[in-house]
Amino acid sequence: MASVALKFLAPDDPDITRLYIYESDTLDGLFSPIEVVDDIGDFPNYIREYTTNLANDENNWFSIQWEDTKGAKSDPSIAVQGRTDTLIGEIVQSMQLLDPNIGDNAAAMIARATAEKYFGRSVVAIDPETVSSSKLYGLALFSLASYHMVATSLRSGTAQKWVAGLVSMDSGSSSSQASVDPKALFNEAARWLGVGGARVAQMEAVVIAGGFSSIVAADISRLLVEVE
């Protein structure tokens, strides 16, 4: 038997009671249960890592599954190879170092979408050791920008106004939030990732008086044309 330390994200569900650990010798192989863990902590502080001593090989692939009080099981997690971290896990960790208020599941959802958008493919099998520190940092910033852009939009609709006699109040949750500029984060992320975008508008060639007049000078950048 071998010992393998696993790190994972806990579900946002107060009724979780059990954790199942599965193992396979290949990523696409058949996963078999090797251990059931009942001591998973209490909501919302479920365990986020566990070392199993029942693995057949530390280099095999592992997946987990959660079970609630009614016996319903979650979908199996993305499989990870023993002794390795996932790219998503690295991005999430960096996001939460920069902003500890971001929850695990929201961070993971945005990190995965950001990474797949950047690489143009599934990132399940990408070894984070093959991704430079600057790219990891850029992906974390890009994910943070996406998170705060959505969070700002949601908060903008939570303001409340009321009037009671001579007393009125105008309150909103956004006033208590730290000011974050998603656009600045996007720009900084693009700098670290070495990406960017620009659009150039060019005016179509001008035909004047059926072609009898001619263009003397043209400044396309200012959409300015001089004719005679």
Residues 126-179 have pLDDT tens digits of: 888 899 999 999 999 999 999 998 887 776 655 455 555 445 455 554 444 456
Same domain, 117 and 72: no
From the number of C-beta atoms within 10 Å of its C-beta (0-12, 13-18, 19+), residue 102 rates as buried
Q: What pLDDT does 174 receive?
A: 45
User: Angle formed by the axes of helices 87-98 and 104-119, to 10°?
Assistant: 120
Same domain, 89 and 185: yes
Q: What is the pLDDT of residues 64-107, one digit of tens each?
A: 999 999 999 999 998 888 988 889 989 998 999 999 888 888 88
Tell me whether residue 165 is in a domain: no
- How many folded domains does the chain comprise? 3
| Mean pLDDT confidence for 26-30 | 91
Quote the distance between the C-alpha of residue 209 and its chain's center. Answer: 56
Q: What pLDDT does 215 receive?
A: 54
Q: Is the dihedral of CA 126, 128, 129, 132 positive or negative?
A: positive
First to last CA, the chain: 89
Q: What pLDDT does 127 receive?
A: 85
Tell me whether residue 172 is in a domain: no
Domain that holds residue 205: 199-228
Q: What is the dihedral of CA 184, 189, 195, 197, to 10 degrees?
A: -20
Token pair recorded at residue 188: 């900084």
Same domain, 8 and 22: yes
Tell me whether residue 115 is in a domain: yes
Tell me whether residue 174 is in a domain: no
| Mean pLDDT confidence for 9-33 | 94
Q: How confident is the model at residue 181 (pLDDT cuts 50, 70, 90)?
A: confident
Structure pTM? 0.62
SS3 for 175?
helix
Measured at the alpha carbon of residue 8, what is the angle toward residues 7 and 9, in degrees to the nearest 5? 145
Q: What pLDDT does 177 receive?
A: 47
Same domain, 64 and 93: no
Tell me whether residue 104 is in a domain: yes
Tell me whether residue 20 is in a domain: yes
Q: What pLDDT does 51 receive?
A: 96
Q: What pLDDT does 25 receive?
A: 95
- Select from 84, 104, 138 the last residue of a domain: 84
Distance CA 60, CA 24 (A): 6
Q: How confident is the model at residue 29 (pLDDT cuts 50, 70, 90)?
A: very high
- Residue 168's φ and ψ, nearest 5 degrees, are -130, 155
